[in-house]
Structure 1
Amino acid sequence: MNLRDYERVKFDLAELLRALAVEAEKSAPGSQDHVRELFARLAEDRFNLVVVGRFSRGKTSLMNAMLGTERLPVGILPLTSVITTVAYGSPERAIVSYQEARRPPLEIALDALAEYVTQQRNPGNAKRIRTAEIRLNAELLRRGFHFIDTPGLGSPVWENTRTTEDFLPEADAFLLVTSYDSPLSAEELRIARMARSAAKRIFVALNKQDVVCEADRHEALRYVQDQLRVEAGMEEPHVLSISARDAMAACLAHDAGGLQASGLPELQAALVRFLVDEKRDEFLLRFCDRIEDAAGELLPATAASRLREQLYALSQRIADEQPAGARRSAIAESEAQPPGSARAPAPCEVCAHVGKQCFDYLCRFQYELLTDAAVRQRHAEQGGFCDLHTWQYWGLASPRGTCIAYSPLLERLSERLLETVPVSSQTDPDSRPPMTGRACMLCTVRARAEHHAIDAVVRRLQADPDRTIDTLSAICLSHHRLLLAAIADPALRRRVLSREAALLYRLAEDMRRYATKFDALHRGLASDEETRAAQSAIAVLAGQRNMRMSGMDEESL
């Protein structure tokens, strides 16, 4: 089971909760509070990874590398006794909470974070900050990881060490970051012993491998492993050699080989395997039990039995590590992006280009209709715009302008209607001459702009496929079909197709997350992407609003 599969099971649990809510409302009105509490537990589930180590070990640099971003501040010494958490969110921002419960949290820009969490700007924590939560748009966080960046152990500010130790019970797992220049301090060994005594799993990252040679690297790894066995009592210490600096550079350069050599993917894979496996048993299977208990309390025997059957099937899938939708997940991840780089794409760029061209044309043309009698006459002879573009014209023009511009058109259409009166009642209505002449002029502008935008995307894909696929907008399905038809290279076509599949799957996940948080009355937890998920999904399915032409042949797309 991977992170995507884990979340898919949570979506399945949410569906069962909705079924429980519907049935419970029939048999036990007023029971929604209990169901809502279960929704809240589901919405709040996350992987708490507490990052510990002496300051200057590169903890923040490592988190930046894991997230594929440089947004977390580094090189600020020393930090005050404030826990900094890093969670998923859009837009990116920071939220500081005060020690006094009566003071509401304060939302600040990321660039202002140093004012609250550094010794220089907040000496001795005079501002009485309890926590600082950073919200970042990174894929690892979107999947449920929640980093807890603790103050550096052994720093000159003694409260930092105490604050770190007090927060350790919140961890699902620990990531101890030490470094090759002076591996494993006394404070770091003490944290390792504490984690072991609390039956918590601890991962050790030996950072800065880029500053030592291969021989020294092996010697340092053996030393750290021996120290953890002897001094911390760890039977099989999990120590991984990494370079946060090299990993960050590889992420920014989209260098898969450099990223692998940095050691970061191995560390991430180990964390994901452990946390998902632990959560699978600890959270998912227990949650099945909670739903079953609620069904027994709230539902009649027959309805409770049906729900138990579904819960049993789901729990079996969880135990077998093969959740429903696993095959779809594999397809959607076939064009995986570098760590942390996946972001919600911009709306369809083809729709945007077409919309601008049509708007600019319509602005000019409505003025010409108002001021030029010859333009009005041509407009009348051509039969005017199609239905959709007629309404778009109405949205721009004044009533006076419409009266001046469209009266010749109505007069001409009146003449044509009289011309189409059948000679006898037996005349086939379908044989009558059309009331309009050529195609809508704005439809022609639209088609020309559409093909120009598609050609521009194809040229970018051919010149730099990796970067273009990474930065491609959320091409709507109608324009996606046109784009595929314009790509001659089968391999490139497959990559674009896979990327669109991943986009659709991502939108579906955001919609399910929003629905779960809405049902839990935790709408405040929803990111901007989740809040906009419904509208974004409709835009991908049907294009941007007002972009579909009333007379378009669907097969031509």
Structure 2
Amino acid sequence: MTAADGPGGALDERASSSAGAGGEVAALREYRRRRLDLADLVRAALYVARDQHDEQTSNRLRQQLARLAEDRFELAVVGQFSRGKSTLMNAMLGSCYLPTGALPMTTVVTTIRYGTTPRATVYSRGAAVGIEVPLDEVARYVSRAGAGREDRRVVRVEVEVPAELLKLGFWFVDTPGIGSSIAANSATTRRYLPRADAVIFVTGFDAALTETESDFLAAVGEQVPMPFLVVNKRDLVDAHGAAEVVELVRGQALRQGHQAVEVFAVSALQALEGRLAGDPCGVRGSGLPLLEHALITFLARNKARLFLKNVTHRAQAVMEQLHRDMLLGHLPHDGGPGTDAVAAAFETQLTDCEARLRAAAATAATRLATEFPARLAERGAGWRSELSERLATHIDRAVADATGARRGRRAAWQSAAVSLEGVGGPIVDEWASRRAAEVTELLATLVSEEITELVRLPRQPGVLGARLAGLSLPSDRDDLTGWSPQDLPSLGLPGCAWSLPLPSAHLRRLRFTFGHQDRLAEGLTEALDSAVRATEATIRAAFEDAACNWLRQLHEQAERDLHDAADRFRANLRTPPSAQDVDTVTGLLRQLVSFDAALNTWAGSPTSAPPQSPGDPLVSEQVGGIRSCVVCAELERALFDYLRHAQFRLATRQKAQGDFAQAGGFCTLHTWQYVAIAAPTGIAAAYPTLAAVVADHLDVLRRCRPTRAELAAALDNFIGDGDGCPACAAVREAEQHAITRLATHPPPSPDLAAQTPLCLRHLAHVVAAVPGTRDCQAMLAALSAALRRDAEDMRAYVLKREAFHQDLVTSQEAAAHQEAVRLLAGCPALVRSRNDGTLIP
């Protein structure tokens, strides 16, 4: 396989032609700096939103912090149902990771990222933590017929696969197909679209750019960059026909304003089969390598900049909304319309929204009452047939069990019926659960227009209020875009009783004798058919009741959301914010504009991080804990060695105890460090002499009857806190030796200096003793680089914590604050304080 045959080869080819590892690291460092700069702006706005008790805005800002913390560039693959989106992604990933088929196989948003081990995580509605499932069971949770989708109320699935292409640092997103009979699928994709960072739009040679696709193509262009337009199923047409279709699609895209979009003719199925069979010729003939090469080039040049711009624009929209909400409280001071006039006009508009909300709910109720039962009845025959087939497979076993004990006719019948009832209960429950997903889709499709209105209207108070107050209207595409199944209530279905009664007339007709089990089986089949009809009718009636309750919940939720939004507007209108908060948000918006403008001239970053190397100041991980100043580390060792030997001498040598008492003992700091390593017996042996000496001094002071001031001065001089401390003397001696050695033998290279930076205090001592300036420059650079790295790591730590992504925090980021403090102030074990509060090294 050549370099162009697969994503891995293309990636290697790109990497081999790069400017070098140094340029890659510099670009990564610049990207990280810009990402943290943007995170600081978003976090500052988050603090203002918290001060305003604005939970909604806080959550939305935190979502942007999460995107920055995850560094998550989402490349969505969108298009009409049955265009082969999942097959295309499988081909690019190199294996059948995603389910494919003739039916809609993707009904929830599925993200695919790099992972060393293939696995999938399913997220249910309202659950912050997902459930890991085998990768080969993903279809159960994402496909239309999946048994687990409705049971777990699945809203999204995340897949990890070891695909080389994903090492470029982006996430593939498989979206539900638009244009199918399932309205929720199109709604889900439209609602997701504003979150995407870029889009691959897939159509097909079998019917290129249908009316539905053209409308959706226009919507894509309004909300998110679309660098690629793929025409799939290239194997269906000849070369001339393919060229005509490609030109047709390109012309349509140009007419809709997509100037920079590229069009690719691809056979995803041929590419996937070629990759699975190890056939490079088949892969090349599919047209996929051209798309992959263009994708890699696009990501290499644009991913970092485009990701930051997208987050910038989203954060800007949220901050603009926060700013508008705050300005509402300043209307009288800003010369705008009076608060009372705005409030009165708003209440009138709100009344109109409430009326439209009720009208939408009433229209949906009428449609359910007139159309829904008939739609369910159309499914009745198929439902009964499916349920009968699943139950009938258990008749032979029930007959064999009933006749094996040679019971009488009635007893045999009752035994077989009880057996079928026991087996059939779970089957009926599982079957009804599957039907619940189908009925939910039917409901969403039947009243999709009314759902749109019921979800859209509660988002209007902010728009209406801004217009009435004369403020700029929201440009927030996230809040005003469509709906998804997550916005809908669950279809609650009560349990359906399952029984298999035997009509008395049938029992009289039954001429059962032992050895003729076929007559018993015939009777059970007839009874089963009757029971299935009754059960199916009962379940249909239950679905009708559940649908009415579902619509009522949807309406009530819409009313609550509308009233909550109205209350939010009223509170903003009546509550003047602090001038400081307004100035803060105004300044943040200006900084975001400048940040966005700077991105336009930025060259971007490489596609992914280079391999980690121990000496790389950007990506190195400290092994064994916190980085320490080389002098501090040596002094810690010297202090520990001194105290270790001292505790033995003090416990066993009378002369050592006497000298210790005459010196006044250890200072406060070293006293407790000594206690921490010495045994109780050793302490009890070491301190009697010192305690007696102190007692003698106190007695002398007492007999002299000094004044209060003289007594205080004498006690202060006596304490001294370390002037004669032998441990302090040992530390000072070791410190002088270490500084002299570094001054006469500085690190031979800047790289070595960078690995062992000095703390600020010891750097000052060493620089004062170094004869030349060249070595000083290297040591200054080493401390500067270490502090700068710690500063970035601390910012990254705060970002991930604020985004509730503690799982992404690295050990270096977690320790950065301690390392920075040690580099600025030295080791805490080597610094003690006088009584007047000054510090003594």
The answer to whether residue 103 in structure 2 is matched with residue 83 in structure 1 is no
| Deviation of 1:434 (Å) | 9.2
Provide the rounded CA distance (Å) in 1 between the counterparts of 2:297 and 2:733.
48
Q: Which residue of 2 aligns with 1:549?
A: 832
**Structure 1 residues 374 and 122: CA distance shift in structure 2, 3 A:** farther
Aligned mate of 1:347, from 626, 646, 653: 626
| Deviation of 1:405 (Å) | 0.8
Q: Which residue of 2 aligns with 1:496?
A: 782
The answer to whether residue 670 in structure 2 is matched with residue 389 in structure 1 is yes
| Deviation of 1:118 (Å) | 4.3
Alignment of 1:173-322 (within 5 A): 173-174=197-198, 197-198=219-220, 199-202=222-225, 229-230=250-251, 232-233=253-254, 234-237=258-261, 266-272=301-307, 274-275=309-310, 278-279=313-314, 281-293=316-328, 297-298=571-572, 303=577, 307-321=581-595
**Structure 1 residues 512 and 168: CA distance shift in structure 2, 3 A:** closer
Deviations for 1:73-120, whole angstroms, at most 9, x for unmatched residues?
A: xx7663567834669xxxx99996435559883588xxxxxxx5644x
Query: What code does the residue aligned with 1:14 have?
Result: L
The answer to whether residue 74 in structure 2 is matched with residue 50 in structure 1 is yes
Aligned mate of 2:193, from 164, 169, 179: 169
Structure 2: give runs of 5+ residues left out of the alignment: 1-32, 78-87, 100-105, 161-167, 177-184, 229-245, 264-295, 332-570, 599-608, 613-617
**Structure 1 residues 434 and 305: CA distance shift in structure 2, 3 A:** closer
Provide the rounded CA distance (Å) in 2 between the counterparts of 1:302 and 1:263.
47
Q: Which residue of 2 aligns with 1:362?
A: 643
| Deviation of 1:527 (Å) | 4.3
Aligned mate of 1:440, from 726, 731, 748: 726
**Structure 1 residues 262 and 478: CA distance shift in structure 2, 3 A:** farther
**Structure 1 residues 291 and 424: CA distance shift in structure 2, 3 A:** closer
Q: Which residue of 1 aligns with 2:171?
A: 148
| Deviation of 1:362 (Å) | 2.8
Provide the rounded CA distance (Å) in 2 between the counterparts of 1:95 and 1:504.
34
Q: Which residue of 2 aligns with 1:38?
A: 57
| Deviation of 1:382 (Å) | 4.0
| Deviation of 1:502 (Å) | 2.1
Alignment of 1:60-75 (within 5 A): none
Q: Which residue of 1 aligns with 2:48?
A: 16
**Structure 1 residues 107 and 267: CA distance shift in structure 2, 3 A:** same
Provide the rounded CA distance (Å) in 1 between the counterparts of 2:192 and 2:642.
62
**Structure 1 residues 388 and 55: CA distance shift in structure 2, 3 A:** same
**Is the 2:38–2:312 Cα contact (8 Å) retained in structure 1?**
no
Provide the rounded CA distance (Å) in 1 between the counterparts of 2:312 and 2:119.
31
Q: Which residue of 1 aligns with 2:158?
A: 132
Deviations for 1:9-66, whole angstroms, at most 9, x for unmatched residues?
A: 2233234335x44xxxxxxxxxx4xx2332222222155632357457877xxxxxxx
Identity of aligned residues (%): 16
Report the TM-score when normalising by structure 1: 0.55
| Deviation of 1:392 (Å) | 1.3
| Deviation of 1:365 (Å) | 3.1
**Structure 1 residues 434 and 512: CA distance shift in structure 2, 3 A:** closer
Q: Secondary structure at the match of 2:833?
A: coil
| Deviation of 1:388 (Å) | 0.1
Provide the rounded CA distance (Å) in 2 between the counterparts of 1:342 and 1:515.
20
Provide the rounded CA distance (Å) in 1 between the counterparts of 2:776 and 2:262.
43
**Structure 1 residues 287 and 94: CA distance shift in structure 2, 3 A:** farther
Provide the rounded CA distance (Å) in 2 between the counterparts of 1:300 and 1:400.
71
**Structure 1 residues 226 and 57: CA distance shift in structure 2, 3 A:** farther
**Structure 1 residues 17 and 52: CA distance shift in structure 2, 3 A:** closer
Q: Report which structure shows greater RCO (CA 8 Å, sep ≥6).
A: 1
Q: Secondary structure at the match of 1:132?
A: strand
Q: Secondary structure at the match of 1:349?
A: coil
| Deviation of 1:372 (Å) | 3.6
Q: Which residue of 2 aligns with 1:402?
A: 683
How many residue pairs were aligned? 436
| Deviation of 1:390 (Å) | 0.3
- What root-mean-square deviation, in Å, do the aligned CA atoms of Structure 1 and Structure 2 show? 6.3
Q: Secondary structure at the match of 2:589?
A: helix
| Deviation of 1:536 (Å) | 6.5
Deviations for 1:369-421, whole angstroms, at most 9, x for unmatched residues?
A: 22343443443344432210101112233443212111223345566789999
| Deviation of 1:284 (Å) | 3.6
Aligned mate of 1:509, from 783, 791, 795: 795
Provide the rounded CA distance (Å) in 2 between the counterparts of 1:361 and 1:283.
60
Provide the rounded CA distance (Å) in 2 between the counterparts of 1:361 and 1:107.
55
Moved more, 292-301 or 281-290: 292-301
Bigger fraction of residues in helix: 2
Report the TM-score when normalising by structure 2: 0.39
Q: Secondary structure at the match of 2:97?
A: coil
Q: Which structure would you say has the larger Rg?
A: 2
Provide the rounded CA distance (Å) in 1 between the counterparts of 2:657 and 2:126.
67
**Is the 2:639–2:731 Cα contact (8 Å) retained in structure 1?**
yes
Deviations for 1:192-244, whole angstroms, at most 9, x for unmatched residues?
A: 98666413434659xxxxxxxxxxxxxxxxxxx999955754312489xxxxx
Alignment of 1:331-346 (within 5 A): 341-342=618-619, 346=625
Deviations for 1:164-206, whole angstroms, at most 9, x for unmatched residues?
A: 979962633226599xxxxx9989x99x98666413434659x
